């Protein structure tokens, strides 16, 4: 898929989609008749192992190393693991091993995986027969709608709550906050407590609480979260245990999952189907996946860190330092990134949520500049889904989040479908991109989260 055949976002003419690069590289492998293979696998604490094998050229050309390293990056953040196994040409294996080391270019990734899995992250270059066999450890969660429940969804710019009784939403609302700059865990705790109390007023009792939050959450404990980035090390234990504290104080079952997983659950509940990818375009990108059996696989699904743009001049992510990652293409950050190209000037001190509101208001007035922003994100979406489909077996995608609100969300969907139909016709036949009703786009995750506890 040459550059000439790429559908470019109107406000980002330098965009070089990963899906197009991969297609071109695979064509080059076939053209030279290479018989080499690259086998990558990640191993997780629960015994799960996920593998990915692709043909590759047996050389050390720049495009070969880029292809291999970006694949490693994808599976690491999509599936997660404490150990990355690499079996393939020596030059490629050595490059990945050096890159994903404590002193390599992906030192951030190494550090985060170490925090998540509680053990030093390792890259093992081995023979193909030494790569562990694939083993998926899955479970069914959520979908419990009986009784009186509260659900919450914690994002970086707002948090949402919902009161649900026997499947009926009696109350839902959202509240602004800015947890990323707060160093006192009591800020996070007090805001969550306030939201829960507001929801509880609409229920005769509270039988259980379910939550959704940005970040990596294991056993109701934060392992890594941008929401806590300003918390000092000596207070991190208190911050990480906020959910357990809430559960004890309310004395009810409490279950909290990553917001991406809950977005997928929202998709399964809304569409009454499995094999669902949920994408929430909010302060960042949140992605979750439920397989065709209706199970979660224990994967990370942190695709906000996965590059979808291989443009060497793509902007860097403020946290990881990597370029072209999903957080800057499927979020409020994406809207902000496109403002200069659109010719929309806003005060420098204006926060991202308010900037999005300004764009939404311009869109409602028919402003072509705002429309171009949504068209550009839609092009990103089409190529992004094609890239994701190489690693995930889904047939429906549910789009959620603040960026999807209003007519702009419809444009994103339309453009995404157009790219899929034009450049990936076979894929477009088996993937349906869905948009829930307007209210569900904003608070759907909170309602889905309410269904998590069992009692």
pLDDT in tens, 276-285: 998 989 889 9
Flag the least confident range among 72-86, 316-330, 366-380, 424-438: 424-438
Do 125 and 142 belong together in one domain?
no
Which residues on adjacent β-strands are paired with residue 434? 398
**What is the 3-state secondary structure of 211-226?**
EEECCEEECCEEEECH
For residue 78, which of 339, 407, 384 has the smallest C-alpha distance?
384
118 burial type by CB count under 10 A (0-12 exposed, 13-18 middle, 19+ buried): exposed
Inside any domain, residue 361: yes
Whole-number Å distance between alpha carbons of 22 and 136: 26
| pLDDT beyond 50 at 260 | yes
Percentage of the chain surpassing pLDDT 70?
97
113-124: average pLDDT: 96
Tell which of 78, 95, 130 closes a domain. 130
* Residue 273 tokens, joined: 């189907």
- Alpha helix (H) residue ranges in 84-184: 90-99, 107-117
pLDDT, tens digit, for every residue of 20-33? Answer: 999 999 999 999 99
> Do 126 and 142 fall within a single domain?
no
- Average the pLDDT over 211-229 and give the result: 90
Contact predicate 68/109, CB 8 Å: no
Residues 446 and 401 in one domain: yes
Question: Tell me: the pLDDT tens digits for 421-435?
Answer: 999 999 999 999 988
**Domain presence at residue 280:** yes
Residues 78 and 149 in one domain: no
* Helix, strand, or coil (residue 209): strand
Which of the two residues, 266 and 277, has the higher pLDDT score? 277
Question: How big is the CA angle at 119 (ends 108 and 295), to the nearest 5 degrees?
Answer: 90
Neighbour-count burial for 300-320, b at 16+ CB within 10 Å, e otherwise: bbbbbbbbbbbbeebeebebb
Same domain, 406 and 424: yes
192-198 contacts at long range (C-beta below 8 A, 24 or more positions apart): 192/152, 192/154, 192/159, 192/242, 192/246, 193/246, 195/152, 195/159, 195/160, 195/161, 196/150, 196/152, 196/161, 196/246, 196/250, 198/161, 198/171, 198/173
What are the strands of the beta sheet with 168-176, ordered from one edge? Answer: 168-176, 158-165, 148-154, 208-213, 254-258
Does residue 266 sit in the same domain as residue 313? yes
Task: Please compute the mean of the pLDDT values over residues 392-407 and round it to a whole number.
Answer: 92
Structure confidence at residue 443 as a pLDDT band (50, 70, 90): very low
Residue 4 in any domain: the answer is: no
Residues 98 and 167 in one domain: no
Q: Are residues 181 and 310 both part of a single domain?
A: yes
Examine residue 151 and state whether it is found in any structural domain, yes or no. Answer: yes
Please state, in angstroms and rounded to a whole number, the distance separating the CA atoms of residues 175 and 192: 10
State the Cα angle at 151 between 259 and 180, rounded to 5°.
Answer: 50
Give dist(CA 436, CA 236) in Å, integer: 36
Of the listed ranges 106-120, 122-136, 437-451, the one predicted with least confidence:
437-451
Domain containing 183 — which CATH number? 3.30.420.40
- Written as one string, the DSSP assignment of 251-302 is TS-EEEEEHHHHHHHHHHHHHT-SSEEEEEESSSEEEEEE-TTS-B------
Supply the pLDDT for residue 2: 53
Look at residue 22 and tell me if it is in a domain: no
Q: For tokens 């499995």, name the residue.
A: 274
Instruction: Output the six-digit token pair for 112.
Output: 């985060």
Q: Note whether residue 23 is domain-resident.
A: no
Contact indicator for 123, 41 with CB cutoff of 8 Å: no
Angle at 445 between CA 440 and CA 451, to 5 degrees: 110
**Residue that terminates a domain, selected from 71, 105, 130:** 130
Task: State how many domains the chain has.
Answer: 2
Assess whether 187 and 283 both reside in one domain. yes
Looking at the fold, whether 84 and 162 belong to one and the same domain comes out as no
Domain termination site, one of 96, 130, 164: 130
pLDDT at residue 266 in the model: 81
- Same-domain status, 44 and 160: no
Q: Which domain holds residue 70?
A: 34-130
Binning pLDDT at 50, 70 and 90, where does residue 145 land? confident
53 phi and psi angles, rounded to 5 deg: -120, 135
Q: Is residue 29 part of a domain?
A: no
Residue with tokens 């092009």: 379
pLDDT digits (tens, 9 = 90+) for 63-87: 999 999 999 999 999 999 999 999 9
End-to-end CA distance of the chain: 52
Determine the average pLDDT of the residues in 194-202.
97
Phi-psi domain of 143 (left: phi exceeds 0; alpha: psi -120 through 50; beta: other): left
pLDDT number for residue 437: 65
- Domain match, 347 and 438 both: yes
């Amino acid at each position: 898929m040459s550059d000439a055949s790429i559908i470019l976002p109107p406000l980002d003419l330098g965009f070089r989609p990963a899906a197009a690069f991969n297609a071109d590289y695979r064509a080059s492998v076939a053209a030279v008749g290479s018989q080499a293979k690259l086998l990558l696998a990640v191993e997780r604490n629960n015994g799960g192992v996920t593998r990915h094998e692709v043909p590759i050229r047996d050389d050390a050309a720049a495009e070969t190393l880029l292809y291999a390293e970006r694949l490693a990056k994808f599976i690491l953040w999509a599936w997660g693991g404490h150990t990355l196994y690499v079996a393939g040409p020596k030059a490629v294996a050595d490059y990945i091993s050096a890159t994903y080391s404590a002193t390599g270019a992906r030192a951030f990734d190494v550090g985060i995986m170490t925090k998540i899995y509680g053990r030093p992250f390792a890259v093992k270059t081995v023979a193909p027969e030494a790569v562990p066999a694939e083993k998926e450890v899955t479970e069914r969660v959520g979908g419990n709608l009986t009784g009186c429940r509260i659900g919450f969804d914690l994002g970086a710019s707002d948090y949402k709550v919902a009161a649900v009784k026997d499947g009926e939403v009696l109350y839902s609302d959202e509240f602004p906050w800015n947890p990323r700059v707060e160093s006192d865990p009591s800020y996070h705790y007090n805001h969550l407590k306030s939201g829960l109390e507001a929801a509880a007023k609409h229920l005769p009792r509270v039988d259980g609480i379910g939550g959704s939050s940005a970040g990596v959450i294991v056993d109701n404990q934060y392992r890594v979260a941008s929401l806590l980035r300003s918390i000092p090390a000596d207070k991190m234990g208190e911050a990480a245990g906020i959910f357990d504290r809430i559960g004890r104080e309310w004395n009810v079952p409490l279950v909290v999952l990553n917001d991406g997983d809950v977005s997928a659950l929202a998709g399964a509940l809304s569409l009454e189907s499995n094999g669902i990818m949920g994408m929430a375009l909010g302060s960042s990108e949140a992605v979750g996946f439920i397989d065709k059996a209706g199970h979660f696989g224990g994967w990370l699904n942190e695709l906000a860190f996965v590059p979808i743009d291989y443009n060497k001049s793509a902007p860097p992510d403020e946290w990881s330092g990597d370029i072209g990652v999903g957080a800057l293409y499927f979020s409020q950050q994406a809207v902000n990134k496109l403002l200069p190209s659109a010719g929309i000037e806003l005060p420098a001190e204006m926060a991202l949520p308010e900037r999005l509101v300004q764009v939404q208001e311009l869109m409602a007035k028919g402003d072509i500049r705002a429309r171009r922003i949504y068209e550009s994100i839609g092009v990103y979406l089409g190529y992004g889904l094609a890239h994701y489909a190489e690693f995930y077996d889904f047939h429906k995608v549910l789009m959620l989040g603040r960026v999807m609100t209003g007519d702009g969300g419809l444009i994103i969907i339309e453009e995404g479908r157009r790219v899929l139909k034009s450049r990936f016709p076979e894929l477009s036949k088996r993937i349906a991109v869905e948009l829930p009703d307007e209210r569900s786009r904003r608070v759907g995750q909170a309602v889905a989260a309410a269904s998590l506890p069992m009692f």
